[in-house]
Amino acid sequence: MALLWVGATKLSAAATQPLLDSLQAGGLAWRESCRNGVCGVCACQLIRGQIDYRGRQPHALDAKERKQGKILPCIAYPASEQLEISSPAHPLNSLPLSSL
């Protein structure tokens, strides 16, 4: 189990599921579409920590974006004890579900 920070929000991220599942279980309304690393809708910035795609490919990100630390939570698993990610640009991604 890893600690996942999104701004001031702290969540638990199970090693057995993609970060997107942990974000949504924690009450964040994170946008998603393909859940397969293709569309890029879920993309965000990895600020601290490490992730592992476990053999899957983040097709929605080009080499420059990957180098800049952009990740796709729908296929990314936690690979460090603590991670911090940014909220994606879309404001709906950082709102608690109760506020929608």
Which residues contact ligand FES by CB under 6 A? 32-35, 37-42, 60, 72, 74
CA–CA dist 56, 70 (Å, integer) = 15
Residue 88 CB, shortest distance to ligand FES, in Å, is 10
Residue 33 or 80 having the CB closest to ligand FES: 33
CA 77 to chain centroid: 9
Judge contact between 38 and 57, C-beta under 8 A. no
Residue 51 or 60 having the CB closest to ligand FES: 60
Residue 76 CB, shortest distance to ligand FES, in Å, is 9
Q: Taking the chain, what is the end-to-end CA distance rounded to the nearest angstrom?
A: 28
Residue 17 or 33 having the CB closest to ligand FES: 33
Residue 70 CB, shortest distance to ligand FES, in Å, is 11
Write the single-letter amino acid at 42: C
